[in-house]
Amino acid sequence: MDYSIKNICCIGAGYVGGPSMAVIADKCTNKNINVVDLNKERIDLWNSSNLSNLPIYEPGLKEIIKRRRGKNLFFSTEVKKNIAEADMIFISVNTPTKIKGIGAGEAIDLKWVEASSRQISRYAKGKTIVVEKSTLPVRTAETIKSILNSTITKNKNQSESQEFFILSNPEFLAEGTAINDLENPDRILIGGEDDDAIKALENIYSTWINQDKIIKTDLWSAELSKLIANAFLAQRISSINSISALCEVTGADIKEVANAIGKDTRIGEFFLNSGPGFGGSCFKKDILNLVYICKYYGLYETANYWQNVIEINNWQQKRISNVIINKLFGTVVGKKLSILGFSFKKNTNDTRESPAIKICKNLIEEGAKLNIYDPQVMPKIIERDLNLKESIEFDSSSELGEWKFASSIYESAIDSDALIFLTEWDEFKFINWKKISEKMRDPKWIFDTRSISISKEAQAYGFNIWVIGEGKNLP
């Protein structure tokens, strides 16, 4: 087939589709990129004249949108039209974990992938390359192919029959650095069966990516590689977090341990930062799906191994909640606690599976009054994640837990017993300790779950300090 791709359609304007297509549009200005989504509110935000209102916060994203939107990058709800005009279609829809039916709690729900495949089969014309971009279980391409092939017909309005070529092109993005990950990737993985289709996608990426970074495999290896990559990264986080607890009771320092073992080139230095646990849309979901696949094929020992990675993650969040309660004299009923950070990591507004959710829920269940501040997460998102309406004012006569949103670090600290760092936002490293200490109630605490560099000045203003993985107090 012709390698020339002029029109690209991406179904799904979320955390993968939006940034991925923005970068392709920025690097391939001779191609028209249409991002479609049935969520009109989301599309309206992508088209907002105020670039601060984009539905996704990623450093560098709004600058690309400003350069390319309306030129060769378009966002709309016109699914039918843009599928019909596309030479290549990316499927970047949500793939949540099933909540009911066979595989509930473990298997990935493919309803949106199936719906997208049916739309493509209905509206696509001529030869079309269909690219899996969403994180999917192995052999999902077989499902997509089956749907597309079962509906191929000679359309009266088309001069040529439909023909589809399926590729797997999983994303390896870290939120908060997604634009850099797209512009300077470790690798690009393309899985497929048709050499011409693979070459067509390869030509797009080779516009700005060195050829030696483009890996070509079969479909099934590409699909499975994404799940395994996320599983291995999550495993490292759970491993170092399990050791943080050991450091705290033995007098060791997790940062020193991580530095020492990271110097071993067989291990490496990355993903050895202890914290409150992994979050984001993929790690937990992909491991659960890996567990499901292993069980399906009777590999129960393998399934149990990966299940324990998730159990350690859950345990770490519960452990941190218990540390806070125990340090605050065994109870947080009626106490005001300042929660600093709600997104699952800095430089993103994504809260999916954020450790902050479970820790905040635990503290609220214990009767705490939480002042929550995050520079990018809106109150309505926190309300959704906690499944609890925001309080206008705290009811001091009630022993029930509550929360309200604070507009700054300093507002969150008013009459608070503790500052609890749950996200490593850069602004949290530059706090006026004198100013914040005057707003808090004695004895005041800092609980640093992210090993943010706490100034010695904080201790000078009377703070008691607990840092994750430290077996001794700060000097």
Token digits of residue 376: 């990018």
Give the pairing of strands 336-340 and 88-91: unpaired
Token digits of residue 19: 């940034």
Residue 81 CA to residue 138 CA, distance in Å, equals 30
Q: Whole-angstrom Cα distance, residue 423 to residue 22?
A: 27
Residue 236, Cβ density class (10 Å: 0-12 exposed, 13-18 middle, ≥19 buried):
middle
Supply angle C-alpha 75, 80, 83, rounded to 5.
Answer: 75
* Contact in structure between 165 and 197 (CB atoms under 8 Å): yes
| 176 DSSP assignment | T
Q: Greatest CA span in the chain, whole angstroms?
A: 80
By C-alpha distance, which of 282, 77, 333 is closest to 171?
Answer: 282
Q: At what angle do helices 355-365 and 300-327 cross, to 10 degrees?
A: 50
Residue 450: name the closest of 379, 359, 376 by CA: 359
Task: Tell me the CA distances in angstroms from 352 to 183, 203, 219, 348, one per residue in order.
Answer: 24, 34, 28, 11
Which residue pairs, CB below 8 angstroms and at least 24 apart, start in 389-398? Answer: 394/336, 394/369, 396/334
CB 355, CB 422: distance < 8 Å: yes
The closest of 352, 410, 411 to 381, measured between CA atoms, is 352
Cα–Cα distance measured from residue 464 to residue 462, given in angstroms and rounded to the nearest whole number: 7
d(CA 168, CA 380): 35
Token pair of 211 as six digits: 């050829």
Active site residues: 282
Q: Which residues contact 347 (CB under 8 A, 6 or more apart)?
A: 57, 58, 59, 175, 176, 177, 425
**Location of structure tokens 């304007």:** 13
Cα gap 474→448, rounded to integer Å = 12
